[in-house]
Structures are given as structure tokens and as C-alpha cells.
Chain A
Amino acid sequence: MPMNQRLLHLALLLLWAPLLLNQQLQPLTAVGIPLTLGISIRLRGQPPGAWISVIATAVLLVWAALAPWSERSAWLVSLANLVWLMAGLKLWECQRPGQTKRAALVVLIGIGLAGVLSQGLGASLLQGAAALCCFAGLIGVEAGPQPLRPLLKRSLQLVGLALPMVLVAFVLLPRLPVLWRLPGGQTAQTGLSELVRPGDLAQLVQQPGIAARMQFTAAPPPPAERYWRVLVHRQFDGSGWSPGPPEPLPAAAPTAAGPISDRWLVEPTDLPWRPWDGSGVPVGATPLTISRSGGLWAAGPALQRQVYAIAASSSGSRWRWEPPTASDLAVPPGSNPRLEQLALRWRASSTDPSTLLQMAQQWYQAQGFRYSLEPGALPATAPLDAFLFERRAGFCEHFASSFAALMRAAGVPARVITGYQGGTLTQAPGGRPWLSLAHSDAHAWSEIWLPDQGWVEVDPTAWVAPDRVRLSLRASLSSQDRARMDANSPPPWLQQLSDGWQLLDSRWQLWVMQFDSSHQRQWLPPWIQGAQQGWIAMLVAALALGISVALAIWSSRSPEANDRQRQALERSLAPLRRLQLEPAAGETLQEFGERVQHAAPDLAAPLRQIIAAYNRFRFTAQPRDIPALERTLNAGARELARRVRRRKGAS
């Protein structure tokens, strides 16, 4: 197989591998090609012809057409698989250079589609490597049989020369507006869910993976104050909590947003809610709304990584003063009888919410509760009663859920918040710190309404396991639970590598993958923006092109062009060309001198002087004096020219 085709196969392999791991490569594509190839070779003794591409294309088109139009992400993945399958089949049937070039073009389109579906740093690097292999394959088609290394080197050179223009176009060229929105097609990862029941979060924290990352613009708060709210659960059915329909916060008088306090990068999620700390206002291209209950609500699930920023603003905490509604006090009567009786006893002794809060805290701390990852399943009937009065072992959602129910039963509006607490801080060299929120940082706490303070966060887990809030989840667990978590955790050295990789990935996402027209408006000076932006971009791109072309032509000069000694030698031997005498390929100067002596003995003497002078200056250990060499060689050249003229005149 020619090297150019091997490179295209390598490009396809680099493309398929991450798609297979991300479950975006469908079985028809992954299995279809080897199966078709195997059958064809067995039956016909050679790779399949063009007919198989036509049949496979028709099959996938029908399959894509049958996908529900409402599930546009599935349609896009099917289309991408079609292109990848076509690329593979076209490569196998390539016989002529023209076919190989067209196959390379299909692979490039496949790389573009893969970029729509996967935008992580690792996927981008593999897509870039695949593109480089494609370009190297195309260079090989034109250059003829060549080893791998020169082709890859030339491909890198071309991409390096084109990079300035790419950067200029990427940064300066105005982007087309979105005419029809295409889905990202990325599978959402598991995480928090809208319905939380006792035991749900205990399962979630044992899963590996990152939920979100954020970058602070100021000093990060201490771990005990790092609460990031996502869902606000207001509806209680006696066992589980759910958010209810979102109600946007009434619009207030517009106030200028302050500086950005933090930037968020969230992984794909099924939820329309995004994490934040409850203060400030969202800014950026991503449309986000603050709900009346203090949630940050997006238009829909995040099918791909999403970036947004929170800016400081006095109006950002207005939700804390939104008065509670009837649903914030609702407890299904008889759902947890002993819990209701306890709450009624507290209410009988006091109706002040602050006093009730203190009573609850004292009660929880006196009952000997245990914080555990595996508290066991609670009964379907009166589950909170079983937790509070029998098991007395639970995870954060047990404590938050039971406390909120107690407060409601005692007449204090309360709700459950799920989100993240803590996180892992990573300090980037020369940059701002990043906070990674893993699934293991998922947490549940409560909020109660105090008439003079508004909605106040209360974390009953901190009464029972204060290390959970002060330090981390792992520090607050028993050795048995810790071992259970460690079984799913990578070794420390791998975790460190993973943290560093995620840091790079975060930067890649923020500064490259999420760079759009809003960032252009933010970063470009005002005099560039506007109607002239396109012209300025083309002008700068043309300048970059000129520099690249000049560099390309200069770099293709032979090393001898920069060698003054060699140039001087070439000039001194020029008179001999009139007699058709010049060094042949592979002939040394010594051999050339002997040949000239045999052919034209009268020219031998000055030629010997030239060769001796050149060797002396070239290979001696003394400091080289190029002007002196040039003078000697020029003198020899003049004598040679004189003798050649005399010889020509005589003949």
C-alpha cells in the first residue's frame, strides 16, 4: 500500500478511536467496514469496488431518514457516521491518485463532523493529528513514493505557514449569524436529577467524573463557604423532593453589572439548571435566567460543554427576599407521623423561626446520627421517620430532606437545595486558580425563611459531620466508606495528571472552543469592529499570507545558497562550463581535477590551485577568512577563463 494511503488510513484510525470511546461511532460504521472488506476479499480476492460504497451510502441514508426528526442530535450523529463510513470505504477502493485525493477530502469532512460532536482537548488533538496525516497523504500523492518522515515534516511545515492566516481569520473575521441551530449531538452525562430521594446522592458521589469547573477572578472562598447551588426543590411528596415549574425572577430596574467574579465551564447535563453561588448576575452569550427560588435556569439541557460567567451585581441576590409561597410550607399530612409530632412539639414551645432552628440543631446533635455512604434503603412508607427515629444513619440528602420537612411541619418555610460543596482547587502556573467540581462533591442542604434575613442556607450535615463541610467528603467518612470510595478513585499520581490535563482542557475550552462573536466584541478594539472588520481581517490575512509565502520560498532554498565558500567555488569553476566541463553528480573535486587534466591538460594547473585553496579554507582548523578565499578563487577563475579563451580561439 503506498505511503499516502497508509497516512489516510492512520488519519481515519485517529478519528475513529475517540469516537468509539465516546459511543458516537455506530456499530454499522465500526463493524461494517471490516466485515465488508473481509467478505469481499474472501469472495472476490480483492478489496470491494465502488458499488459497495453506493449500497452502504443508501443504507445509512435510509437509516438517517428513519430517525425521528425531533431527535435532531441522533440525526446529526447518523450523518456523521455516514461520512465516516464513506471515508473508510473510499479509502479501500482507491486505485488512482485522483481517488485518493477525493478520499482525503471526505476524511477531512469527517474530521469536521467529529469536531461538532467532541470538543475536548484530547479529541481536538486527535482531530488535529488526523488532519495532519490527511495533508501528508495529499503531499505524498503529488510528491510520489516517499518515506513517512519527510511527508509528515512537510505537512507540519505547511500547517505552520498557514497558521498565521488561520489565527487572523479566527480572531478578526466576523462570524456568520446562526441561521438554523444544529444540535451538538453529545451524550449528556449522569449527575444531579430533579427528583431527589434519600440515597440518590450517596450513589452519585461514588461515580467518577467532573461535573463543572470554575475559575475565580478574586481569592477563592474557604472550603466551608463553597456552596454551589443547582436545583431548588420546593415540592415534597413525603419521600422525595422536586423543583416544580421554574418561575423567573421579576425584572428589576436595570443596574450595571460589575466585574466578572467567576467563570463556569459545565459538562453536558440533562438539567436546565446551572451551578452558581447564588449572588451576582449571569453574563455572556449563554442565555441564563435567575428564578424566584434562586436557581440559575437555562433554556434547556446542555448537550455540550457550556461556558458562562457571573458578574457581581447588587440585584443578583434579590431572590433571597422573594417571600415564600404555600408550597414552601406543604407537608403531606400523615406521610411521616412521628416527624410531624416532633415538629408540633417544637412549635408548641416556640413559634420563632430562629428558636426553632436552634432546637432542631440541638436535637440533631444529641441523637447520635451517623454520616454514611451506605445507610441502607429506607421503607417506602414514612421513610423520614425511619431515618430520624430508627436508623439514624444517612447521607447529606437524608439530613437535608428530614430537616426541611421538620421545619415545614413546625411552620417555617423550608426547601432542599442540591448542588455541590467544596471542590478541588488547582493552581495553574502563572494563572488564576481553577476549582473542579466532581460528582463526589455533590451535596444537599436546606434553606429556611427567616422574616428578617430572607432565605438562609442551613446545612444539617455540618451538625453531624462538620469535616464534610470544612474539609471534604472523604475526610468525613468512616474507613469502610472511604475504602468504598477509593475503589472507584484513580491512584494519586494519575489523579494529579488528570488534574493537570483538566486544567489545560479548561483553558482550551474557554479561550478557543468558546471563542465566538461575543468574545470578538469583548476583545477587539472598537475601531476594528463594525462594517470595516471584514476588510481589516482580509488585509491582515493577506499580509500574513505574504509573510508565509516569503518564508516558504526562503526555506526551500538549498543550504548551499547560504554557503559563501561554496558560492565562491561555483563561480571560479564557471569558465570551464564553456568547454562542457563541470563536476558530475557524486564526483569529488579531486576526481574532477584529474578528469580535466586528461581532457584539457593546459587547464590543470590553475584548477589545482583553486581546489587546493578551497580545501585549505574549508577543512583546516584555522579561522576561516572568506574574503581571502574569495580573492584566491577569483584569481584562479581569471586564469582559467584566460586559458579557456585561448583554447577556444585556437580551436
Chain B
Amino acid sequence: MRFANWRSRLERRFSQRCLQLHLGHRTLYILPTGFGVLWLLAAAALYLLGTQAQRNTPVLLGFLMLSLEALALFLTHSNLQGLELKALDQEPCCAGDAHTYWLEVRSRIWRPSVRWRWLTQQPPNCGVLHIQPGQSRIGLPWSAQQRGIQTAGRLLLISSAPLGLFRCWAYWEPSLPVWVAPRRRKGPITVHSDEPPHSDGDVLDGLAPWRPEQGWRRVDWKAKARGRGWRTKTFLAPPAEQLWLAPAPQLPLETALEHLCDGVYRKLKAGEAVGLALPGGQGLPPLTGRDQLQACLRALAAWPPCP
């Protein structure tokens, strides 16, 4: 436990908390790996073997391994040196859902096998990137366990290519906040519906070519009598019912918010017009669409902060 605390403190100490990060000498750290130390010992052993047996093959191989180790120090460092990372605007998400954290990455060279890991996540999310030269958009799997406006946490980038003799790493804590709505769970919510505006009948939208399978009921007989051919009348869809969703009052607040989040999500995905009626008079008017879903999730993420 003590070691874990020390490690966490070191990570915090050397981590860069910012929106955009340029990896350079001040932000990169490099040390030989255990394999790198073994490699060095093996090179020394081969050199000794060659000089004592008076054979040049082990001597050459020892020199080659030593030279590769010296070269690997710089190559491993250059795998991360000069890499630019920038956090992009993130869409709101729900706690517990798998989310993609988007980054913009700029690189002048090809960078193979850059490993990444979110340090503050359990279970840990990690992976390997092969970064092409130029500008690219990279999505890292990420998830949050609690709702609220929060940062993504500490990201560790590691490279040990090409030979695994050195490990070069950098810490980055993107400062861009992510709106995390409550975890979606099915349950009771309070629903109010607004009456749709009164309509005397169907509202005519226009005319369209008639097809026999549409039947005779909507044929524009006047246009036919005037010699304009067979046409059918089209009508606007009747205005949908508008729903106001609120948390169930009898449940604990967080549980009620979770149910509310699930309800909002399902109904907006189904195309219904949904609005939020949160306690304290806050809320959002009923609308449909992706923008409304994001606005509702943001409202649920921000509304009173989780204790």
C-alpha cells in the first residue's frame, strides 16, 4: 500500500495537467528496462568470451549489441519526442457506459507501438497506438463510474520500441471536462404529457404522383378532371405528444436520476419529444433529436453535484 501511495504521488508529481501537450525533454522520462540491463550484460559477456578465446565473432556481436543499445536509447526517446496531443470536445456520456475519449494527435514521423493506459481507471483501459505522420484523430476507450463534470484522469504513454531495451514514458492529464450523466437503469419515473395542438383534420401538405396500390380515397379528382393526370394528396403528420420527464419523488435522488436518465435516453432514441423537469424549476423544454439528448445528458450530469 505504501509503495502504491508513493507511486501515485510520483505520477501526480510528474503529470502534466493541460488541454494540449507537446512531448519533449521536460515531459519525457527514459530508463533501461530489465531486458536492457540483461542485454548489456550479455554484450559484455560476449566481448569477454571473444577476447579470451581470441575469436572475433563474439567480439563483433558484443560490439553490435552494445551499439544497438546506444542507438535504442535515442530511437526509443524519439518515438515520443515531438508528439503533440490535444483533447477534443467530448460528447456527454453515461456513467458505466463505454465511451470514446477523442484526441487530436500530430506527429511529423511514424511512431509505432505507443502503448497507452488510463491510470485512474478500474478496470484499467489500455491499448497500443501506431501513430501515422500528420494530424489524426484518435479515440481511446474510456469510462466513468460516477456522474458529474470530471476530467478523464491521468493518461500514461509508453514506448519501448524498437528492441525493448529502454522504456520512455510521459504522463498527461487532459484538463478538458467530460459531462457524465447518471448510469442508465430501468425504473419508475414521473411523466407529464402536453396536449398536442388542436387539429380539425389532416393538414394537406401537397400532391404526389398516384400509384394504384394507394387506393381511390386520396386521389385529387379535381386535378384529374382538369386533365393534369392521376395525383394523390399528401398530408402532414399530426404533431407528436410532448412529454416532460421528472425523477420519481419516492426514490433516493441518485437512483431516481438514474431511472430518469434511462427514460430520457430510450424515449429520445425512439424519436419522441422529451423534456426534463428537474426539481427546483430547472429543466429543458421537450424536443427531439441528438442535440436534445446531449442537452439532457449535460443537464443530468451537472444538476446538483454528486456528494
Instruction: Choose from B38, B71, B113, B128 the contact partner of A162 (Cβ within 8 Å).
Output: B71
Instruction: Choose from B49, B61, B113, B132 the contact partner of A131 (Cβ within 8 Å).
Output: B61
Q: Are A109 and B48 in contact (CB under 8 A)?
A: no
**Shortest Cβ distance from B224 into chain A, in angstroms?**
38
1/0 contact string of B5-27 vs chain A (CB within 8 Å): 00000000000000000000000
A-B pairs with the 10 shortest C-beta distances?
A115-B57, A558-B133, A162-B67, A182-B53, A165-B67, A112-B58, A112-B46, A142-B161, A549-B74, A176-B51
User: Which segment of A48-56, A100-108, A459-467 sits at the interface?
Assistant: A100-108
Alpha-carbon distance A553/B61, docked complex (angstroms) = 24
Chain A residues in 8 Å Cβ range of B132: 558
Q: Does A161 contact B (CB under 8 A)?
A: yes
Q: Does A545 contact B (CB under 8 A)?
A: yes
Q: Does B135 contact A (CB under 8 A)?
A: yes
Instruction: Choose from B46, B64, B71, B108 the contact partner of A561 (Cβ within 8 Å).
Output: B108
Count contacts on A: residues with CB < 8 A to the other chain: 66
Chain A residues in 8 Å Cβ range of B60: 115, 166, 170
Could you tell me which residues of chain A, from 519 to 545, have a CB within 8 Å of some CB in chain B?
Answer: 541, 545
Q: Are B162 and A139 in contact (CB under 8 A)?
A: yes
Q: Does A194 contact B (CB under 8 A)?
A: no
**Shortest Cβ distance from B130 into chain A, in angstroms?**
8
1/0 contact string of B115-158 vs chain A (CB within 8 Å): 00000000000001010111110000000000000000000000
Quick one: closest A residue to B35, CB to CB? A101
Chain B residues in 8 Å Cβ range of A119: 55-57
Q: Does A512 contact B (CB under 8 A)?
A: yes
- Counting chain A CB atoms within 10 Å of each CB, the highest count among B59, B66, B132 belongs to B59
Q: Does A143 contact B (CB under 8 A)?
A: yes
Given A116-B53, A124-B57, A552-B74, answer yes or no on A142-B38 (Cβ-Cβ < 8 Å). no
Q: Does A68 contact B (CB under 8 A)?
A: no
Chain A residues in 8 Å Cβ range of B253: none
Given A115-B57, A162-B67, A545-B71, answer yes or no on A142-B134 (Cβ-Cβ < 8 Å). no
Q: Are B112 and A116 in contact (CB under 8 A)?
A: no
Instruction: Choose from B52, B78, B108, B112 the contact partner of A179 (Cβ within 8 Å).
Output: B52
Q: Does B284 contact A (CB under 8 A)?
A: no
A-B contacts, 7 of them at CB < 8 A, read: A98-B35, A112-B61, A116-B58, A158-B162, A162-B64, A182-B52, A570-B134
Q: Are A552 and B54 in contact (CB under 8 A)?
A: no
Q: Are B61 and A154 in contact (CB under 8 A)?
A: no
Q: Are A144 and B128 in contact (CB under 8 A)?
A: yes
- Counting chain A CB atoms within 10 Å of each CB, the highest count among B56, B110, B112, B132 belongs to B56
**Shortest Cβ distance from A520 into chain B, in angstroms?**
12
Q: Are B68 and A158 in contact (CB under 8 A)?
A: yes
Q: Does B306 contact A (CB under 8 A)?
A: no
Instruction: Choose from B55, B61, B75, B130 the contact partner of A552 (Cβ within 8 Å).
Output: B75
Chain A residues in 8 Å Cβ range of B49: 112-113, 116, 182
Q: Does A646 contact B (CB under 8 A)?
A: no
Q: Does A505 contact B (CB under 8 A)?
A: no
**Shortest Cβ distance from A495 into chain B, in angstroms?**
28
Q: Are B63 and A166 in contact (CB under 8 A)?
A: yes
Could you tell me which residues of chain B, from 16 to 48, have a CB within 8 Å of some CB in chain A?
Answer: 35, 38-39, 42, 45-48
Alpha-carbon distance A343/B195, docked complex (angstroms) = 146
Q: Are B70 and A545 in contact (CB under 8 A)?
A: yes
Given A116-B53, A162-B71, A552-B75, answer yes or no on A560-B66 (Cβ-Cβ < 8 Å). no
Q: Does A178 contact B (CB under 8 A)?
A: yes
Alpha-carbon distance A124/B58, docked complex (angstroms) = 11
Given A513-B56, A557-B108, A558-B134, answer yes or no on A166-B64 (Cβ-Cβ < 8 Å). yes
Chain B residues in 8 Å Cβ range of A169: 63, 66-67
**Shortest Cβ distance from B17 into chain A, in angstroms?**
24
- Counting chain B CB atoms within 10 Å of each CB, the highest count among A102, A144, A158 belongs to A158
Q: Does A192 contact B (CB under 8 A)?
A: no
Q: Are B78 and A553 in contact (CB under 8 A)?
A: yes
Quick one: closest A residue to B111, CB to CB? A556
Q: Are B71 and A108 in contact (CB under 8 A)?
A: no
Chain A residues in 8 Å Cβ range of B232: none
Q: Are B112 and A105 in contact (CB under 8 A)?
A: no
Q: Does A387 contact B (CB under 8 A)?
A: no
**Shortest Cβ distance from B235 into chain A, in angstroms?**
29
Q: Are B57 and A513 in contact (CB under 8 A)?
A: yes
Q: Does A481 contact B (CB under 8 A)?
A: no
Quick one: closest A residue to B52, CB to CB? A182
Chain A residues in 8 Å Cβ range of B113: 142-144
Chain A residues in 8 Å Cβ range of B46: 108-109, 112
Q: Does A63 contact B (CB under 8 A)?
A: no
Chain B residues in 8 Å Cβ range of A161: 71
Chain A residues in 8 Å Cβ range of B78: 549, 552-553, 556
**Shortest Cβ distance from A527 into chain B, in angstroms?**
24
Instruction: Choose from A102, A108, A181, A515 the contact partner of B56 (Cβ within 8 Å).
Output: A515
6 additional A-B residue pairs with CB within 8 Å, beyond A108-B61, A162-B64, A549-B74: A101-B35, A102-B35, A113-B58, A115-B56, A116-B49, A142-B112
Q: Are A101 and B164 in contact (CB under 8 A)?
A: yes
Quick one: closest B residue to A566, CB to CB? B134
Q: Does A184 contact B (CB under 8 A)?
A: yes
Given A105-B39, A180-B52, answer yes or no on A159-B64 (Cβ-Cβ < 8 Å). yes
Alpha-carbon distance A233/B53, docked complex (angstroms) = 33
Chain A residues in 8 Å Cβ range of B128: 144
Chain A residues in 8 Å Cβ range of B38: 102, 105
Alpha-carbon distance A516/B78, docked complex (angstroms) = 36
